Structure 1
Amino acid sequence: MREKIITFLIELGCVYTIVSVGGAIANMIVGGQTNNLNVIVMFMTCFIGTFVLNLHKLFDKVSPLLMIVVQYLAACALCAVMILIVGWIEGESVSPRGWYEFYRSFTIPYVILAGYYYYRVFSDTKKQEDLIKEIQENASEGK
């Protein structure tokens, strides 16, 4: 369990760094500003995305496409709850344009990083499958 938590924290740190640097570069290009609330929302969004992606083992019995869609929808729902809470704390409601901008800003990095994550998971699975086949072949040759 401790190893899983450490791995999760490392992945969260990497994802947050990538998203933060990407956001900083985008702000430099566009001339935007970042405030503390945006940084916290960015971190919480990264936390939600990383957490949901790490739940892929719960979906071993379903097709990979369904798993990806369900995980994305779960991440979107959790992000919506987070945005509602932030809006409530700030005393402001989120405009329809704000929801659109948030989900656009969430979806683009999520798709890219989830694609990399799933590629890594499926390539590790393929390597393990090849190793099992090799062990089985060696065992059958030894009989």
Structure 2
Amino acid sequence: MKILKGIEIPISICISYTILSMVNVILDLLKGKDSGSHYNSLAMLLLCTIAVLVLSIHHLFDEWPPIVMIIVQYIIAMGLVLLFVFISSFFSEINEGGYEDIIVSFTIPYIIGAFIYYSSVFRSAKRQDKLIQEINGRQEK
């Protein structure tokens, strides 16, 4: 399976951040709201980083069934996000319902990103299996 490493991790973080930032700006424009503060931009970058890093460690769970691996990774990511919000609460006030908001705000893009990521991982694994079968078929002849 393809493992994100080296320069691929920051590139994935940048792409994810850019996409989420643009979606956020477009949604805010449609709602007629201000697009937020610099703190929100930095928080979004940190959340993208958490998501990409947690998804990129999937190879540590290869022995596990895929659905269990995906759920465990989500729990790890959500734990880190909630830890970030908890630590942030010492520096700025968290609105009532802030934890619920962050869960929803993180979960929806995470599910979309995880779907895209795991689709490419599973496609890559199928291609590798097909190649191995072709090689084994040639060796048997």
Q: CA-to-partner distance for each residue in 1:59-99, whole Å, 9 max, x for gaps? A: 00100000000000110000011111222122x2x345111
In the alignment, which residue of structure 2 is the partner of 1:17? Answer: 18
Higher RCO (CA < 8 A, seq sep 6+): 2
Q: CA-to-partner distance for each residue in 1:22-65, whole Å, 9 max, x for gaps? A: 11111111122210110011000000000000010000010000
**Secondary structure, counterpart of 2:64 in structure 1:** coil
Report the aligned-residue RMSD: 1.2
Q: Percent of aligned pairs with the same residue?
A: 35
Q: Which runs of 4+ in 1 moved over 3 A?
A: none
| Match among 87, 90, 101 for residue 88 of structure 1 | 90
Segments of structure 1 that go 5 or more residues without pairing to the other structure are: none
User: Counting helix residues as a fraction of each chain, which structure ranks higher?
Assistant: 1
What aligned pairs does 1:1-143 form with structure 2 within 5 A after superposition?
4-33=5-34, 34-90=36-92, 92=93, 94-141=94-141
**Secondary structure, counterpart of 1:88 in structure 2:** coil
**Secondary structure, counterpart of 1:5 in structure 2:** coil
- TM-score, normalized by length of structure 1? 0.92
Code of the residue aligned with 1:29 in structure 2: it is L
Q: 2: distance between equivalents of 1:4 and 1:76?
A: 22
Q: 2: distance between equivalents of 1:88 and 1:40?
A: 17
Segments of structure 2 that go 5 or more residues without pairing to the other structure are: none
Code of the residue aligned with 2:82 in structure 1: it is A
